[in-house]
Structure 1
Amino acid sequence: MKLSDQGLPPGYNFILPAVDEGAVRADLSGTVSLVGGELLWNVTVGCSGGSPACADCVAKPYWERWSRSNGYYVDADSWGNVIAYDYAVRVEPARWPQQPQRILVAPAGDLFNDKVPDAFIDRVLLVMQQHPQHTFYLLTKRAQRMKAYLAARARGVIAAENRSDTALRGLKWPLSNVCIGISCENQLTYMSRVRHLVETPALRRFVVVEPMLGPVRLDQVPLETRDILWPLKGIVQAYRGQDAQGRLHWEPLDQPLLEVPAIDWVVVGGYRGAAVRPMHPHWVRTILRSCQRENVPFFFKGWGDYAPTAVLDLSGDETLVIVSHDGTLRGRGVGSSTNFLAVQTEPVPDVHMTRRSDGQMRDLLDGRRYRQMIRDVAGKRVRLVDCSDLARMLHRLSNPQATVSGPVTATPAVANDSAMDASASAERQRPIADWLRHTIGKPLR
């Protein structure tokens, strides 16, 4: 397929050449799409990376093909260049069908990259406002910038360069046809981004865990003051203090310190690419159970290039990998000389994964497909929420009914056991840094 001199052709879902004979999928639309079936709107191309999931980025070959086709020089450092693609904003919306479509914004980049100016993002939002029949998905790793930008738009602020434009002066936010989301790959990236997500003004929010590189606990985010953010429930649980024996306690979940916007949708997917980083099925099941408890729609995209297998070819399968719950990889697929390795069964059994699995089984979790979509938000109201340490403390001081963090002399009513794993509460007599590390690292149930 040859690109025109004016820009991307209709559809712009390129067919990339297979890297090797074992490549399962060469269609880019299957690797950079959200859940499949979206139109890809490439308003920005290129990314400066910086995340653990960026080592084998599926969008990088697309960027290189796009750059060469448009006369840009490509070398080892060019991936850090970000293009705000003006043609995509001016011309491509006219090509979209009139019927409602799901449109993924900047699949080969990040609209909220620091190199993309606010004035350009204003114009992208205006196109979304002018096409209310379509649903747009804004997905970013830069949740802090997204929060700052969209909070300013909610207050009616636009970039100085656009203030003379009548149409842009009428730009509104939030828009009912726009869903905002964060992508993450492990517990630390999730914790660092989800707080910004719930503080961002929007009608719908989602989390994409792809590629999943380790266990992720979506339901609880311990904060620096020992309060607990529950993103799926939409609350902040107050830390009550310590009793005379030094045990930590929290307020009951039905008496939250703050109510915050809850996550509306969760998407999970495995790793695709040359590097070998398959995910353990127990990680996915844990997120599924958390979503089911809170009635949050869950979409499983699939295992990626590696999928679980029960039919073992220990002598001939060069791609076989044994995955432990802690992320340890063994087997010939990661360079071991043999597949005959002891398999652990406690506390969570190891699993065998291979590139040779049946392609039709790659999106099944325990024999079932999970493809729930985000729900409608008709009539939903938008709240601007500040979950910062200062905001929570001010809320405590201004609310006489709210608890004040600190030691207590009498044994308080123990918070709901599900708030944290209560079995470990007696051990929580360590400094806050140790407590955070303990909370993040303990096994998921």
Structure 2
Amino acid sequence: MGQNSKIEWTTHTFNPWWGCIKVSEACKHCYAESWAKRVGQPVWGPQADRRFFGDEHWKQPLRWNALASGAATRPRVFCASMADVFEDREGLDLHRDRLWDLIEATPNLDWLLLTKRPQNVAARVRWGADWPDNVWLGTTVELQKRADELLPFLAAIPAKVRFISAEPLLGPLELDRWLGEAIDWVITGGESGPKARPASPTWFRSLMIQCMERDVPFHFKQWGDWAPGNAANLPKTKKLRIARAADGTEMHRVGKKIAGRQLDGNEWDGLPGIAKTR
């Protein structure tokens, strides 16, 4: 959990538990699994236990909610960075119910539920067709096949804001049929970490243009460890590594900090405004 999160598109993070199971190509080099192992928490996989938390942990969003009363901007809470709230696993329903209680008790916070399992959402929430106004629902779509598979489930949920996280982006995405109707916001970015896969600038630029054409907010989070450009114009490193994205574009491994988050000379920090009534 983190107050004042370093993730650009959220304010805070809250985890009702830690642990998950890998279900897609985006999970291959999961940062959350790596972090959990680093701090001695073997909570990944079908046989592993999940890590749960006590009452003090659950009180923190109530404090954020009190501080947000009357504030000019609404804090956004990313839930959950170290788990998937909609994992289909025995023993999680009690904790999910506690999360729904917490969301309902914190109307000054916008809760961002990001899942790789939107097909499980309708059966796991209590709200039916009447979702709270402070819940945004998103799903991860890193490849076109995942978008085709998952977005019909996301589109069927009447959340106030529906969004996608195309991070790590592993191929081109065509989202025209969804943008502006089913999808209110697009987050995208490249992969970071020791085994990061390079993403082509063409893929990000295409998403940006699609969003601009449909008047959908676009957020470019990062290049990740790989940056585009002429090697002569990139900062010098001890050993410049070169690889090609899946479409053949040459990319240079310079690290996340150096690669930065500018796309075509700009930082793209789009956020949804007041969403339409579902």
For Structure 1 versus Structure 2, the TM-score category normalised by the shorter chain is 0.7 to 0.9
Residue 54, structure 1, aligned to residue 1, structure 2: no
**2-side partners of 1:133 and 1:233: how far apart?**
25
Distance 1:80 1:264, change over 3 A: farther
Distance 1:145 1:282, change over 3 A: same
SS in 2 for 1:137: strand
In structure 2, give the amino acid aligned to 1:214. G
Residue 81, structure 1, aligned to residue 49, structure 2: yes
Partner of 2:67: 98
Cα drift, residue 309 of structure 1: 2.5
The within-5 A match list for 1:132-171 is 132-150=107-125, 153-154=127-128
- Point out the structure with max Rg over C-alpha: 1
Contact 2:18 2:43 in 1 (8 A): no
The alignment covers a number of residue pairs equal to 270
Residue 175, structure 1, aligned to residue 108, structure 2: no
Contact 1:39 1:103 in 2 (8 A): yes
Distance 1:78 1:62, change over 3 A: farther
Partner of 1:298: 218
Cα drift, residue 91 of structure 1: 2.8
In structure 1, give the amino acid aligned to 2:76. R
Q: 1:273 aligns with which of 193, 218, 222?
A: 193
Contact 1:128 1:136 in 2 (8 A): yes
**1-side partners of 2:256 and 2:193: how far apart?**
16
Q: TM-score if structure 2 supplies the norm length? A: 0.85
Contact 1:186 1:213 in 2 (8 A): yes
Cα drift, residue 128 of structure 1: 1.2
Cα drift, residue 124 of structure 1: 0.8
Distance 1:76 1:137, change over 3 A: closer
Distance 1:372 1:199, change over 3 A: same
Partner of 1:381: 277
Q: Deviations over 1:164-199 (max 9, x none)?
A: xxxxxxxxx411111100012111112111110001
Structure 2: gaps (5+ residues): 69-73
In structure 1, give the amino acid aligned to 2:67. Q
**2-side partners of 1:322 and 1:87: how far apart?**
47
In structure 2, give the amino acid aligned to 1:206. F
Cα drift, residue 103 of structure 1: 0.8
Q: Deviations over 1:82-139 (max 9, x none)?
A: 3454546643334425124211111111111112533422221221111111111000
Q: Deviations over 1:210-260 (max 9, x none)?
A: 0011112222xxxxxxxxxx11143xxxxxxxxxxxxxxxxxxxxxxxxxx
The within-5 A match list for 1:190-229 is 190-219=147-176
SS in 1 for 2:138: strand
Q: 1:63 aligns with which of 33, 36, 46?
A: 36
In structure 1, give the amino acid aligned to 2:253. T
SS in 2 for 1:139: strand
Cα drift, residue 140 of structure 1: 0.2
The within-5 A match list for 1:112-131 is 112-115=86-89, 117-131=92-106
In structure 1, give the amino acid aligned to 2:272. I
SS in 1 for 2:232: coil
Decide which moves more: 100-109 or 204-213: 100-109
Distance 1:127 1:356, change over 3 A: closer
Contact 1:141 1:183 in 2 (8 A): yes
**1-side partners of 2:256 and 2:30: how far apart?**
23
Cα drift, residue 12 of structure 1: 6.8
Shift >6 Å, 4+ stretches: 313-317
In structure 1, give the amino acid aligned to 2:60. E
**2-side partners of 1:287 and 1:218: how far apart?**
8
**1-side partners of 2:239 and 2:124: how far apart?**
48
SS in 2 for 1:302: coil
Contact 2:21 2:46 in 1 (8 A): no
Cα drift, residue 364 of structure 1: 0.6
Distance 1:79 1:285, change over 3 A: farther
In structure 1, give the amino acid aligned to 2:241. L
**2-side partners of 1:187 and 1:144: how far apart?**
17
Partner of 2:71: none
Distance 1:358 1:308, change over 3 A: farther
Cα drift, residue 76 of structure 1: 8.2
Percent sequence identity over aligned pairs: 29
Q: TM-score if structure 1 supplies the norm length? A: 0.55
Distance 1:79 1:372, change over 3 A: farther
Contact 2:76 2:110 in 1 (8 A): yes
Residue 371, structure 1, aligned to residue 264, structure 2: no
Residue 323, structure 1, aligned to residue 251, structure 2: no
Distance 1:90 1:138, change over 3 A: same
Contact 1:48 1:81 in 2 (8 A): no
Distance 1:136 1:48, change over 3 A: same
Partner of 1:189: 146
**2-side partners of 1:206 and 1:178: how far apart?**
11
Partner of 2:14: 41
